[in-house]
Every structure is written in structure tokens, then in C-alpha cells.
């Protein structure tokens, strides 16, 4: 399960992720593009490997993650986004949609070429019995 922050903590996180100088230069990102779990699994099975970024806590990541995923907890994204290579990124978590949207907008505003989010998050992946690394 993902950590649920209180309303004040969420607003602080949201404003920190969304408010940036690059926002004015790049404009506002469009709606959050979602990739269904079945579609992502087909891509992985076919050998296509987008960079999957697990936004959950480090502890949750250690307990199980999508195969090949990289851990960048959402509270560290602003500081660590420079670690992400160019190309397609698929974000996932078990967080409120607003937090996922804020992470998406932050990455797009900072030059990410293509960012999608896993529809239904990590829980939706697990519910379908898809592979999980530990």
C-alpha cells in the first residue's frame, strides 16, 4: 500500500512538483496519458522496455515492483529527475491521481519526451497476476 499524506502535505508536494521555472518555458502538459496493464504487459513480452518508474516508497518498492522498474519515490522526483534517460517513461504508484498527474506534469515540463502512467497503478498490475520482481 502507498503512503497517504495528509491534505497539507499533499498540497506542499503538489506545489513543489508543479511550480517550476521550466513550466513557463514549456507550457502546460496535456492530460495524463494512461496505459492499460494488459497493453504494458504485451510490450514487455514483445521485448519493448520503456523505463518504468516506481513512485512508491522505497519500502514498497523492495516488497515488489514491475520487472525492471526503477525506484524514484514521488517525494524525491524533483531532486532526482535528472537520472531519467530520454525516451518513454511509464510512471506508476498507488497514490492519488492528483499526485500522479503532478509527477507527469513536472517531467513533461522538464523535457521528458514521452511519459505515460500505468492505469490502475501497481495494485492493478498485481490483481491481474502479472509478474512482480522482489
Instruction: Give the pLDDT confidence of 62-105 residue by residue, as tens digits.
Output: 999 999 999 999 999 999 999 998 889 999 999 999 999 999 99
- The pLDDT score that the predictor gives to residue 29 is 61
Q: In sequence order, what are the residues at sequence separation of 6 or more whose Cβ sits closer than 8 angstroms to the Cβ of residue 71?
A: 53, 54, 56, 58, 61, 65
- The pLDDT score that the predictor gives to residue 22 is 34
- The pLDDT score that the predictor gives to residue 134 is 93
What average pLDDT score do residues 43-59 get? 96
Residue with more model confidence, 8 or 125: 125
| Poorest-pLDDT segment among 4-8, 73-77, 90-94, 127-131 | 4-8
Banded pLDDT at 58 (limits 50, 70, 90): very high
Report d(CA 119, CA 125) in Å as an integer.
9
DSSP structure class, residue 73: -
Measured CA distances, 95 to 73, 90, 118 (Å): 11, 15, 12
- The pLDDT score that the predictor gives to residue 86 is 84
- The pLDDT score that the predictor gives to residue 119 is 96
Report d(CA 35, CA 94) in Å as an integer.
15
List the domains of the chain with CATH numbers: 7-127 (3.40.250.10)
Report d(CA 66, CA 92) in Å as an integer.
9
Amino acid at each position: 500500500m502507498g503512503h497517504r499524506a495528509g491534505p497539507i502535505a499533499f498540497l506542499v508536494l503538489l506545489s513543489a512538483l508543479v511550480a517550476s521555472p521550466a513550466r513557463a518555458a514549456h507550457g502546460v502538459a496535456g492530460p495524463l496519458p494512461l496505459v492499460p496493464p494488459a497493453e504494458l504487459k504485451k510490450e514487455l513480452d514483445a521485448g519493448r522496455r520503456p523505463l518504468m518508474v516506481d513512485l512508491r516508497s522505497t519500502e514498497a518498492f523492495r516488497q515488489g515492483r514491475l520487472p525492471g522498474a526503477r525506484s524514484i519515490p514521488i517525494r524525491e522526483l524533483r531532486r532526482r529527475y535528472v537520472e531519467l534517460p530520454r525516451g518513454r517513461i511509464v510512471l506508476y504508484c498507488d497514490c492519488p491521481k492528483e499526485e500522479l498527474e503532478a509527477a507527469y506534469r513536472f517531467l513533461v515540463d522538464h523535457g521528458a519526451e514521452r511519459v505515460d502512467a500505468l492505469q490502475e497503478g501497481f495494485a492493478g498490475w498485481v490483481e491481474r497476476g502479472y509478474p512482480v520482481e522482489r
